[in-house]
Amino acid sequence: MAELIVAARGLVKRYPGVVALDGADLDLRGGEVLGLVGRNGAGKSSLIKILAGVQRADEGELRVDGELVGSGYGPRDAHALGLAFVHQELGNFPSLTVAENVALGTRYPRRAGFLINRRELDRRVRVVLDELEAEIDPSAHASDLTSVQQRVVMIARALYHEARVLVLDEPSVSLTLEEIGHLHAIVRRLRDRGQSVVYVSHRLHEIVSLTDRVVVMQDGRVTLERPTAEVTEAALVEAIAGSAAGRSGTPPASPADTSGVPALRVRGLRRAPRVHDVSFDLHAGEVLGLAGLVGSGRTEVARMIFGADRATAGTIEVDGRVQRLRTPVDGVAAGVALLPEDRRHEGLVLDFAVRENITLASLGDHRLGHLPVPRRASEARAATRMIERLRIRTPGPEQAVRRLSGGNQQKVVLAKWLERTERILIFDEPTQGVDVGAKEEIFSFVRGLAEAGRAVIVISSDFGELVGLCTRVIALREGRVSGTVQGSDISEEALVRLAYAAATGSSHTAKPVPGAGDHRRTVG
Say whether 12 sits in a helix, a strand or coil.
Answer: strand
For the structural domain made of 251-335+422-524, what CATH number should be given? 3.40.50.300
8-state DSSP, 401: G
**Do the domains spanning 4-92+145-244 and 251-335+422-524 agree at the CATH topology level?**
yes
Q: Please determine, for residue 26, whether its predicted confidence score (pLDDT) is greater than 90.
A: yes
Distance between CA atoms of 44 and 168, rounded to whole angstroms?
12
Q: Please determine, for residue 248, whether its predicted confidence score (pLDDT) is greater than 50.
A: no
What mean pLDDT is predicted for residues 131-139? 88
**Neighbour count for residue 60 (Cβ, 10 Å):** 16
Beta bridge partners of 115: 111
> Could you confirm whether domain 4-92+145-244 is CATH 3.40.50.620?
no
Say whether 226 sits in a helix, a strand or coil.
Answer: strand
Q: Please determine, for residue 521, whether its predicted confidence score (pLDDT) is greater than 60.
A: no
What mean pLDDT is predicted for residues 121-128? 93
Residue 68 one-letter amino acid: L
Among residues 430, 504, 511, the alpha carbon closest in space to that of 473 is found at 511
Least confident of 19-23, 47-51, 131-135, 185-189: 131-135
Among residues 207, 225, 229, the alpha carbon closest in space to that of 216 is found at 225
Angle at 207 between CA 43 and CA 198, to 5 degrees: 55
Say whether 384 sits in a helix, a strand or coil.
Answer: helix
Contact 367, 378 (CB under 8 A): no
Average pLDDT taken over every residue of the chain: 86
Query: Is the model more confident about 53 or about 464?
Result: 53
Distance between CA atoms of 364 and 412, rounded to whole angstroms?
19
Distance between CA atoms of 302 and 298, rounded to whole angstroms?
7
Q: Please determine, for residue 504, whether its predicted confidence score (pLDDT) is greater than 60.
A: no
Which pLDDT tens digit goes with each residue over 232-243? 988 898 888 875
- The domain segmentation of the chain, as residue ranges, is 4-92+145-244, 251-335+422-524
Contact 392, 358 (CB under 8 A): no
Start-to-end CA distance of the chain, whole Å, equals: 59
pTM attached to this predicted model: 0.72
pLDDT at 56: 93
Angle at 226 between CA 220 and CA 229, to 5 degrees: 140
